[in-house]
Amino acid sequence: MKFMLEVDVSSDRLSENTARELSRILRYWAGNLHHYALRPGDGSAVYDSGFEEVGRWRMVAPAEE
């Protein structure tokens, strides 16, 4: 099984402070993973500091890769 995180950094807001915003996103979602069973199919939208959806994370079974 794989944990997949995809964040679109092409938005103007993210490109100004890409490293800072990605760091915040990673800290936030790492802290929330305990709310999920982390089974194949689990996942959620990922939001930037302005609460705009910028990606998703998901648990993927090997056959789905």
Question: Which residue ranges make up each domain of the chain?
Answer: 2-64
pLDDT value at residue 31: 87
pLDDT value at residue 30: 85
Structure confidence by residue, pLDDT tens digits, 1-51 = 899 999 988 866 666 688 888 898 889 888 888 888 989 999 999 998 888
- Terminal Cα-to-Cα distance of the chain (whole angstroms): 9
Which position has the token pair 């993927």?
60
